[in-house]
Each structure stands twice: as structure tokens, then as C-alpha cells.
Amino acid sequence: MATAEKVKIVDTTGNKVVTIETKGSSNVLAVEIVDSDGNLIDSFNSSNYSTITTDDADGNIEYVGWALPENQNNTGSAVWRIAKLTYTSSGNPIIKFADGMDSFTKTWDSKGDYVY
């Protein structure tokens, strides 16, 4: 059975807020980004994308990568949308896309080399 968690994401000023709801197993992650009123901003779900995540030393999600299912094993190809999550001192996550772009033009294997 799939579990669901909500991750609240705020900008560095705390003014812009979105919530990411995660559902799925260890190899599939469905994510919806909504604004503070619950309006859908973007959706990355298992029927559209394959997802990879990595955790930091504290067990928090650090990187999230999305690719079309046919590209899920091409971690060295420029077919990924990658985001890095950092956390404020109060534990609120902040999400930033690789090189400031949310396009599918990054390689998962190089996730640590991008500017976030």
C-alpha cells in the first residue's frame, strides 16, 4: 500500500509556500506541487515520470530526479529534471532546481555538479 507524506517548501524569505505530497514505494514517487491555497502548480507522478531520490545524513530527501519511464535507467544521459532540497534551521525544506532550470536536460550522475 502506498504511503503519503506532505513536504512544505518555502522560499528563503518564507513568503512563497508550496506543498509537495509524495506517494509511492521506494522506486516510484508521485509528487504534486500546489500553492498555499491548494491550487496545482505542477505534477510529477508515477504514470508520467520515474523518480529517484537520495537522502542526506539526517535521512531527509536531498535530491529528487524525474525522467520519462523509458529513460529511468539512463542516469548518465541529459534526460533528467533534478531538484535539491535544503532545510532551514526549523526544518522547513527549500527546493531549488539544477542550474535554476526545471527542464529535462540534466544528468542524474552529475547531480552534485550543478548550481542550486
3-state class (DSSP) for residue 84? strand
Dump pLDDT digits (tens) for 49-97: 788 888 888 888 889 999 988 998 999 999 999 999 888 888 778 889 9
For residues 22-55, one letter each, b for 16 or more C-beta atoms within 10 angstroms of the residue's C-beta and e for the rest, the string is beeeeebbbbbbbeeeeeeeeebebeebbbbbee
Calculated CA dihedral for residues 93, 32, 4, 22, nearest 10 degrees = -60
pLDDT, averaged across the chain: 76
pLDDT at 17 over 70: no
pLDDT at 94: 84
